[in-house]
């Protein structure tokens, strides 16, 4: 494995993080002057820095990053990170489970003010203001242990499923020319709303393979090590980051610095250890 610091520095140098300057609010216009539209209350910021509340949009069926725990409460690695960030900044925190394909509408409307749920930043840099990447991720393929599928070549004529609007889908659907050629050999590339059901279909034999995040594969293999195997090849390598509404640099900056402080005082390492059995590794933490 590459030295984490070297890997991160290389990644950050090429990531092309989105950064849009916030429009400042001026004073009230003098009598007879046209009102500056930037002072209209309707343009007030919806970010946590502006409102004092971090409203986290997440997929509640995305373990180990966000899911419903045995006690019926929302939990997960990313949700615990978000809650700690909010606590350290004296923000309220609101966890909002969302339909993944509605995330942009909810972010634009202010119903949520961040997407924090194993959110891949590559290919989305122009659509959001992102935090700095904090976790190394990749896209992989998981098959049944008894399937006889050992490589990408063996997926020819097979049914592969992935989550709608996921990084894996984007890679296979044309974002990466090489992987688009791979997808063209499939019998079909199916999509589904969440990965738990995708793996149920894999186990039942309804599909032949699941294309997903490395972290999701690790979680499923940890839960059922005899049922599945992960193919050695990667569809892509990328990073997780927190997505904010375009222009919310202020909140992104605060989150970056708070995550750094949480890493420095050991909170992140302890949280990774807590979720180690679910496939989370501190070796993949990359925000320094």
pLDDT digits (tens, 9 = 90+) for 141-190: 999 999 999 999 999 999 999 999 899 999 999 878 899 999 999 999 99
Scanning the chain, the segments in alpha helix (DSSP H) are 4-14, 48-51, 77-88, 103-109, 167-170, 177-183, 195-204, 214-223, 249-264, 267-274
The pair of three-digit structure tokens given for residue 193, joined into one six-digit string: 């709303």
What pLDDT is recorded for position 40? Answer: 38
Residues with Cβ within 8 Å of 184's Cβ and at least 6 positions away in sequence, in order, are: none
Residue 168 contacts residue 231 (beta carbons within 8 Å): no
Residue 164 contacts residue 191 (beta carbons within 8 Å): yes
Angle at 45 between CA 43 and CA 49, to 5 degrees: 165
| Backbone conformation region of residue 205, classed left if phi is above 0, alpha if psi is from -120 to 50, else beta | left
Q: Which residues are registered as beta bridge partners of 74?
A: 68
Q: Which residues are registered as beta bridge partners of 210?
A: 142, 161
Residues with Cβ within 8 Å of 35's Cβ and at least 6 positions away in sequence, in order, are: 29
Residue 239 phi, psi dihedral angles, 5° rounding: -140, 150
What pLDDT is recorded for position 37? Answer: 40
What pLDDT is recorded for position 275? Answer: 95
The pair of three-digit structure tokens given for residue 13, joined into one six-digit string: 């140098």
| Residue 257, helix vs strand vs coil | helix
Give percent above pLDDT 90 in the chain.
76
| Beta-carbon-side half-sphere exposure of residue 80 (alpha carbons within 13 Å) | 20
Instruction: Identify the structural domains of the chain with CATH numbers, from first to last.
Output: 4-134+241-284 (3.40.190.10), 136-237 (3.40.190.10)
Residue 192 contacts residue 163 (beta carbons within 8 Å): yes
| Residue 3, helix vs strand vs coil | coil
Sites in the chain below the pLDDT cut of 50: 1-43
What pLDDT is recorded for position 44? Answer: 60
Q: How many residues does the chain have?
A: 288
Instruction: Quickly tell me which residue has 């949009």 as its tokens.
Output: 57
The pair of three-digit structure tokens given for residue 64, joined into one six-digit string: 């180990």
């Amino acid at each position: 494995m590459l030295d984490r610091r070297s890997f991160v520095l290389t990644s950050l140098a090429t990531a092309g993080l989105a950064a849009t300057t916030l429009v400042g609010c001026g004073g009230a216009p003098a009598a007879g002057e046209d009102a500056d539209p930037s002072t209209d209350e309707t343009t007030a910021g919806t970010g946590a820095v502006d409102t004092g509340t971090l409203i986290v949009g997440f997929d509640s069926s995305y373990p180990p990053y966000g899911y419903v725990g045995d006690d019926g409460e929302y939990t997960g690695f990313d949700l615990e990170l978000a809650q700690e960030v909010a606590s350290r900044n004296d923000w309220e925190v609101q966890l909002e489970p969302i339909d993944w394909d509605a995330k942009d509408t909810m972010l634009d409307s202010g119903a949520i003010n961040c997407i924090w749920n194993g959110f891949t930043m590559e290919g989305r840099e122009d659509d959001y203001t992102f935090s700095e990447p904090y976790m190394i991720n990749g896209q992989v393929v998981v098959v049944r242990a008894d399937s006889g599928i050992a490589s990408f070549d063996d997926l020819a004529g097979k049914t592969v499923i992935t989550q709608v609007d996921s990084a894996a889908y984007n890679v296979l659907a044309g974002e990466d020319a090489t992987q688009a050629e791979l997808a063209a050999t499939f019998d079909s590339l199916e999509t589904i709303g969440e990965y738990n059901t995708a793996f149920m279909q894999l186990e039942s034999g309804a599909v032949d393979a699941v294309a997903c995040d490395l972290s999701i594969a690790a979680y499923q293999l940890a839960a059922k090590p005899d049922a599945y195997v992960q193919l050695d090849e990667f569809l892509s390598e990328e990073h997780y980051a927190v997505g904010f509404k375009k222009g919310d640099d202020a909140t992104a900056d605060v989150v970056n610095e708070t995550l750094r402080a949480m890493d420095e005082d050991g909170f992140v390492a302890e949280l990774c250890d807590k979720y180690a059995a679910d496939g989370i590794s501190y070796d993949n933490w990359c925000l320094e």
